[in-house]
Structure 1
Amino acid sequence: MTTKIILLRHAEKPSADGTVGGVDASGRPNDDDLSVRGWQRAGALARFFAPGGGSLGVPRALYASRPTAEHPSRRAVSTLQPLARWLGLPLNQSFTCGQEPALTQALATDEGVTLVAWDHRGLCRIAQALVGAAAPDHWPAGCFDRYWIFSRDADGWRLAPQPQQLLDGDD
């Protein structure tokens, strides 16, 4: 049974004004991927969630939204790829943006700590499926340095928003 679900937004993306571009893992320009700072965050998250890295527990399941023609962003996948490699875990990309209800059902069947990277709009739908009206109704558009922890107890899920505090300038 899942004891903890951690939701985080994918790491930093290219800027809307074009001054900061995206790059793929090889450094080639790709605006559907992370910015350089986003890749730095992905690496920092890998260290944070690896054994001995933080107090939240080591994830036993990793989920990221699968890119599609309608939503071609690779940012959620790129955010968790370094951690998946580090832990030797598969990165579950069975769900796409818009399939949050099905994803939430799958999350409840995992064991231990589960980590999810997603688009900021879908994070609220996942949270609402877990805790109902107690969930935030939005994730700030420019916020990449927080995560939401959902812990299970006898009464259901409890939400605790937290700052990541991984990179210089984080909240």
Structure 2
Amino acid sequence: MAPDRIMFIRHAEKPDASAGLGIEADGKADEESLAVRGWQRAGALARFFCPIDEARSERLTPATVFAAGNGPASKSKRSMQTVTPLVALLRQTSQVNYITAYLKEDGAALMTDVLTQRGIVLIAWEHKVLPPLIGHIPGAPAVPAAWPDERFDMVWILDRTDGRWSFSQRPQLLLAGDRAEPIR
């Protein structure tokens, strides 16, 4: 059994010259954490994926959330921090399967697990790895070859109908400066 829908997002904004320092949820400086703007996006994503008005959900509420874990080769906490507010919100109202067991380079194992899930799956990962992840899906549709460094504002969606996958993009449009045009 495979999920009906798999959604992909990159982790929210990371520290850099324009976004500022990385900080933990408690405000402690940490270069492996989100920038302040990233925390703003993480909070906004909670209601994007779990809207108050179910009629407006557009099948965005995940039953399973995967976020890249951290380990010796990748100490980044950003993928997990990006979905932390969403997972907390989902746990208030329903069961959610939250998995952080895979490191960013564990693409084949991650996607094997993803394909055993049911319903809607959300994957928050490092942007350079997202296009190759999709390549692990049998019969995967064509997607853009690269996720641009400056884009934190898009959701890639794979829908499965009659055993075939289709690809679409949904702009988040959550923060000032977010863009509606798809990634090409």
TM-score range, shorter chain: over 0.9
Q: 1:85 to 1:103 in 2, by over 3 A?
A: same
Gaps of 5+ in 1: none
1:90 CA displacement? 4.5
Give the counterpart of 1:58 among 51, 56, 61. 61
Task: Tell me what 1:134 maps to.
Answer: 142
Q: 1:120 to 1:23 in 2, by over 3 A?
A: same
Residue identity opposite 1:2 in structure 2: P
CA distance in 2, matches of 1:41, 1:12: 8
TM-score normalized with structure 1 length? 0.92
Does structure 1 conserve the Cα–Cα contact (< 8 Å) formed by 2:131 and 2:144?
yes
Give the RMSD, CA atoms, in angstroms.
Answer: 1.7
Between 47-56 and 104-113, report the one with greater CA deviation.
47-56
1:132 CA displacement? 4.5
Does structure 1 conserve the Cα–Cα contact (< 8 Å) formed by 2:12 and 2:42?
yes
Does structure 1 conserve the Cα–Cα contact (< 8 Å) formed by 2:141 and 2:165?
no
Task: Tell me what 1:23 maps to.
Answer: 23
Between 151-160 and 6-15, report the one with greater CA deviation.
151-160
Task: Tell me what 1:110 maps to.
Answer: 117
Task: Tell me what 1:39 maps to.
Answer: 39
CA distance in 2, matches of 1:158, 1:90: 24
Q: 1:19 to 1:104 in 2, by over 3 A?
A: closer
SS in 2 for 1:41: helix
Residue identity opposite 1:69 in structure 2: P
TM-score normalized with structure 2 length? 0.86
Q: 1:115 to 1:146 in 2, by over 3 A?
A: same
- C-alpha offsets along residues 30-61 of structure 1, whole Å, 9 cap, x if unaligned? 11000000000000000111143632331100
Task: Tell me what 1:85 maps to.
Answer: 88
Give the counterpart of 1:149 among 149, 157, 160. 157
Q: 1:71 to 1:18 in 2, by over 3 A?
A: farther
SS in 2 for 1:2: coil
Aligned length: 170
Gaps of 5+ in 2: 180-184
Give the counterpart of 1:168 among 138, 163, 176. 176
Between 65-74 and 152-161, report the one with greater CA deviation.
152-161
- C-alpha offsets along residues 65-91 of structure 1, whole Å, 9 cap, x if unaligned? 001121110000000011111111342
Task: Tell me what 1:69 maps to.
Answer: 72
Residue identity opposite 1:96 in structure 2: L
Residue identity opposite 2:48 in structure 1: F
